[in-house]
Amino acid sequence: MSDKPAPAQPKRSRVVILSAFQDYRTPKRASIHQVAHALAQDGCDVSFISTRFSLISKKKGDSRLFLWDQANAWHKVDGVNCYLWRTPLHPFATNNAVADAVMAKLFPLFARLPNADIDGAFQAADYIVIESSVAAIFIDRIKRLNPTAKIIYYATDRLDTVGAHPYVRRHLVKNARHIDHVCLRSTKMVSDFLWAKDRLYRAEFGIDPADFETVGPSPYTAQRNAVAVGSMLFDESFFHAVAPQFPDVHFHVIGCGKSFKGPDNVFVHKEMPFRATLPYIKHASIGIAPYRLAPGVEYLAESSLKLGQYEYLQIPAVCPDFAVGANPFRAGYVSNDPASMIAATEKALALAGQVPARHFSTWTEVADRVLRPENYPDARIVAD
């Protein structure tokens, strides 16, 4: 028997993902879920911390409410350590100048609330990925607890577009020196991050082909079907305007974050697991991204996950003109213009069956770019 010691196992990178809106265990899959899953599959020790969850969340119909009784404790799911931090209350944007001024004083108090579980995760981490928006208020706390951790700001959305409180941007810029690099989903966000122009990288969304290999049969009964997936900036007026003009088309709305009564050929489905949405997309005639107009939404032309999934499954899309970009298989319409919406839907239906296949990076590649973008020369963004 050899007396040689067993070779040392390589140290697992410890990654904390911090979000103010998402929990890894929700049925829907935003890009931050995919990045967390990819990192865990790649051998990292991943902790996914979800914040900004309180009694106020019950009034707002938060998608994490089914986890209410599991809050404030660690749970392991798919190799990811999950923690939902529930507090009595949490600050938020009110869109009222006076109320927002009051809220601005509450954000720093909220960011200092004691939590030994979260602080322990911060202290042990090698990398801490902060998803865009309110989670940024914890940057100085993270740096104080762990001066050597690499802090990454993962900008999946613009703060103005998602309606973040002005305090969040002020805090982000104030603590810019603590952020090692910023990963943008779209180069159209660059103007928001000139304070980090020497540390800007691009990490687009990805596709894991295995997720799409066994999509399953069509769930539809009609010959022509349109599908809309997701809740971001959801504009239900699109369906009121368009559906009556296409009585032979069934419009399926999945996980839009609200319940509404549309025309008879509109079918509203609750949020469902990511893979359960795929038969609806694959077998649809067209996909719809009914974004409403908001400040700075042009970046969605490059960053929209649903539009990327529609393209991967080779169905044409209908979306506002600001989300079309250079894609010839997206039919754009003018926001709040019913005639334009109807014309775009007609155009998209005429393109059904003509969308060519396109290659996308895998989520493993995207996740590695988020942590180590310096290894990818094409990821660097040069800002003026």
Residues belonging to the active site: 157
Q: Which two tokens stand for residue 273?
A: 């697991």
Query: What is the total residue count of the chain?
Result: 384
Contacts of 53-61 with C-beta under 8 Å, sequence gap 24+, read: 53/84, 53/85, 53/86, 53/87, 53/90, 54/86, 54/87, 54/88, 54/89, 54/90, 55/88, 55/89, 56/89, 56/90, 56/92, 57/90, 61/257, 61/258
Residue 285, C-beta contacts closer than 8 angstroms, at least 6 positions apart: 224, 225, 226, 249, 315, 349, 352
Report the alpha-carbon distance of residue 164 to residue 24 in Å, rounded: 21
Q: Do the beta carbons of residue 137 and residue 111 sit within 8 Å?
A: yes
